[in-house]
Chain A
């Protein structure tokens, strides 16, 4: 199990705890990682708005780097996964497009043949590591912890490009939570948008989305939420206090990155998982696990 790690920008920027916990969890589960250090930003759906071909070319460059190493790519960001999945499908299935993009890359001696696979850590955990192995690796069961899964848009939609979960009724996070011993919370917001793309442009709309979904999870009895996307994490964690002010209600909802939740069950320490980076304290959730053990 070896992957070329595409960290994405957030894990190297505002969410260092995501990078650090993903690397630690991978180590324990025997997922070997070789970081794509010279890979550029996936574009986050924003660059595509400006110039679709430029965005494709930059991503083809990334795929070519992994192709050269002979490794599949692993992402740790839902948004990166969505953007890369769409770009890769386009480049793989549409030969004229691939040719056009390769012509752009040719002066630097880069060519993408269309053989790279791109997988999110969540998919790797379920497909390649396997839930059985994960269950056996659990050192500190999450029993009693009620976890609300929050998928984020890009890891689910457009489903014809992603093709892993059912976009209307995804199950991978639920399976994972259960395998770690936790209790999963069902609520309609789990497949909705966190609002992040509008957070710098129209904060009130973004907060209504992120805060609204968090409030729903709370009403359904969640102790914490878990997300495979750092942009969702920023929206739900960093902006939670502002969402509380707008909604006029307390949320106090700890938000975990996917590898942090896995890491907790694998027995990693708070420091290993970088939990002190969060704006919303995760202590209440941690106490719940500790009380069990």
Chain B
């Protein structure tokens, strides 16, 4: 099988800007991966081609790159599949991170964010496993259903694919990002963790869990099915349960649910008002746009009749006692 690779090359010491370079190669068999192809190019066609790789089995997280537009591990992507789908193989470095050379990016900002969430356990003072270590009690087993809540987050290999694909990071580089936040959830959910509340308090600050736009890109590109966005959603839920409801992100959820409980539908006249209430300054700030929408017939009645069968909806809310 013949395959064409178009690889983004960039040597900052020589090149003014990155450029695509084409390589044509004979692929020995259909099972070859994009990483195999990169090695073949490096050995046979262009010794200067630079990329990171190590285990070749999708476990070390060294070789994420943007292959035909999407973040993937080169060692986990078959050349044949890409040729079938796209005709050729375009390889670029991860986004959001500075390119050091060709496909190698600077990972320090990524590690700094992972480090920022304290990626280790801060055990409870009298945690069962500490007492076990002192020989005071026998073996302590974490029940499977508890472990299940974060076992897939534990599968993260810190490759950075999600960070490259993140739409929030695109516009807000300070955002902690999917990988670090998924890691943070892993510790918040751990029953041995002693600083759960402190962690949640930190995570609800600027650049934390409330900056996720729920675009699902991280879920889509993760090679290990970590589903970082789902972890962020759980962190938001935990934060609200912990009473950390000051942030507008939390208000958004509680106000939204309160309106659905009352009316069965979201009332788009009430929602923005609920977000800024009772801050007069912020109310005045949304007023001009509200008026423009009103003129265009885009503001529904503030007093809407609830949907038919609203009793059923209210009963469900009451059953769950999610919000009063």
Contact = CB atoms under 8 A, between A and B. Distances in A.
Interface of A: 9-10, 12-16, 37-41, 43-51, 53-54, 57-58, 61, 104-105, 107-108, 110, 153-154, 156-159, 167-169, 192-193, 195, 197-198, 200-202, 205-206, 208-209, 212, 238-239, 242, 276-279
Given A159-B220, A168-B70, A197-B214, A47 B256 contact: yes
Tier of interface size on chain B: 35 or more
B315 interface: yes
A271 to B, nearest CB: 13
B202 interface: no
B171 A157 contact: no
B211 A198 contact: yes
A240 to B, nearest CB: 11
A276 B312 CA distance: 37
Contacts of A37: 307-308
A41 B297 contact: no
A9 B315 contact: no
B233 to A, nearest CB: 5
Contacts of A239: 289
Interface of B: 68-70, 85-86, 167-168, 170-172, 210-211, 213-217, 219-220, 233, 236-237, 240, 247-249, 252-254, 256-257, 260, 264-269, 271-272, 275, 289, 292-293, 296-300, 307-309, 311-313, 315-317, 319-320, 322-323
B298 A238 contact: yes
A10 B260 contact: no
A110 B311 CA distance: 13
Given A38-B308, A167-B220, A201 B252 contact: yes
Contact of B172 (A48, A108, A156, A205): A205
A165 B239 CA distance: 35
Contact of A276 (B172, B211, B247, B296): B296
Contact of B268 (A10, A167, A208): A10
Given A159-B220, A279-B293, A193 B70 contact: no
B319 A277 contact: no
12 contacts: A9-B267, A10-B268, A38-B264, A38-B309, A40-B264, A54-B317, A57-B316, A104-B319, A153-B215, A157-B220, A168-B220, A206-B213
